[in-house]
Amino acid sequence: MISEMHLHYFTAQKDFPFYIQYGHHDENMFLHNHADFSELVFVLGGHATHIVNDEEYPIQKGDVFVINENTSHAYKDPRHFRICNIMFQPDYFLKNFGDIKSLPGYHSLFVIEPALTQQNGFQSRIHLAPDVFDTFDQMITRIHHEYVSHSAGYQTMTSGLFLQMITSLSRLFDKSGEADDNTVSLANTVAYMEFHFREDISVEELASMSGMSPRHFRRVFHEIYGTSPLKYLHTLRIRSAARLLRSTDLPVTEIAIRSGYPDGNYFSGKFKQFMGMPPLKYRNDPSQG
């Protein structure tokens, strides 16, 4: 039987969806999945067998991997097995730091590979060389110390250190060559979307970048990201427009152009569709601050 884990089982802080803990496993760990959070795992010592969606894979000191929502996993046959678990909700940490998503390594390690685990086997991991492992071990220590201290400003400090860790891992995964070619191609395409969303991009162009037919690209993209490529682009544009509406006094027509919508009327319709209100109402609504 698979147990379903929720983040509130570990922390009661509803305004800060994050938890970090060290684990020492001498016995098998039960099969479970995550209902509302992702988990970044560092293997700090020893080795074990990792069970992911009924498949078994050896893991050892230096391995780093991500388990996202609705993926069942467990550990068995641990030997001197020590890990650090970092549980978090990605949207909370990335909502104001979307440029991390312009890194192909982020999409490979944190999104695409975990989503395709069932088809591709457990490839969503990176193995850290000893000197690199020491650097990340120090990062873990700093994050853990900051988090458990609850000192004034600890949420901001913890968030900053954790974002640094995610960025460093994403850059490292880019260079590691540990992702397969299909993952790399798709990750590069989505990173391109994050950086060039203001431009006029067709699904056919994106599919070509990924080395897929448009139909196959749409299917794979939806399977991984839970939405269509076109809606993903619109989401990026509308989020950009929302930030400009709240942080500048630019006219709506100028914001539309800067967000990738040369037609102001079309922009207003799309904005209302995504945000539930027209652009000017959003700008003047205190609850949207």
pLDDT tens-digit map of 153-172: 999 999 999 999 999 999 99
**Which of 130, 160, 176 lies at the terminal end of a domain, its last residue?**
176
| 136 & 9 share domain | yes
Q: What are the backbone dihedrals phi and psi of residue 4, each rounded to the nearest 5 degrees, phi first?
A: -100, 125
**Which of 176, 210, 231 lies at the terminal end of a domain, its last residue?**
176
Please give the Cα distance from 170 to 140 (Å, whole number): 16
| 121 & 167 share domain | yes
**pLDDT for 94:** 87
| 169 & 187 share domain | no
* pLDDT tops 90 at residue 97: no
At position 187, the amino acid (one-letter code) is: A
Name residue 51's beta-bridge partners.
Answer: 56, 74
17: nearest Cα among 69, 82, 53 = 69
Please give the Cα distance from 16 to 36 (Å, whole number): 13
Looking up tokens 């192909």 gives 104
* pLDDT tops 70 at residue 1: no
Please give the Cα distance from 98 to 194 (Å, whole number): 8
CA 9 from centroid of its chain's CA atoms: 21
38: nearest Cα among 94, 82, 80 = 94
Domain enclosing residue 71, as ranges: 3-176
Please give the Cα distance from 171 to 167 (Å, whole number): 6
pLDDT-derived band at 23 (thresholds 50, 70, 90) equals: very high
Please give the Cα distance from 254 to 246 (Å, whole number): 14
CATH number of 199's domain: 1.10.10.60
Written as six digits, the tokens of 160 are: 């900053």
| 19 & 87 share domain | yes
| pTM of the predicted protein model | 0.83
Show Cβ contacts of residue 128 under 8 Å, excluding neighbours closer than 6 positions: 62, 63, 64, 136, 172
Q: How many domains does the chain have?
A: 2
Rg (CA), the chain: 21
| 89 & 208 share domain | no
| 255 & 122 share domain | no
Intra-chain end-to-end CA distance of the chain, in Å: 44
| 29 & 169 share domain | yes
Cβ atoms 29, 123 nearer than 8 A: no
| 125 & 208 share domain | no
Residue with the bigger pLDDT between 115 and 42: it is 42
**pLDDT for 123:** 57
Q: Could you report the per-residue pLDDT of 237-280, keeping only the tens digit for each?
A: 999 999 999 999 999 999 999 999 999 999 999 999 999 999 99
Task: Identify the helix (H) or strand (E) that includes residue 58.
Answer: strand 55-60
What's the rounded mean pLDDT across residues 211-238? 95
| 172 & 208 share domain | no
**Which of 144, 160, 176 lies at the terminal end of a domain, its last residue?**
176
| 253 & 112 share domain | no
What's the rounded mean pLDDT across residues 7-15? 90
**pLDDT for 125:** 76
| 31 & 161 share domain | yes
Residue with the bigger pLDDT between 180 and 145: it is 145
CATH number of 65's domain: 2.60.120.280
The fraction of the chain above a pLDDT of 90, given in percent, is 70
| 197 & 133 share domain | no
Please give the Cα distance from 135 to 111 (Å, whole number): 24
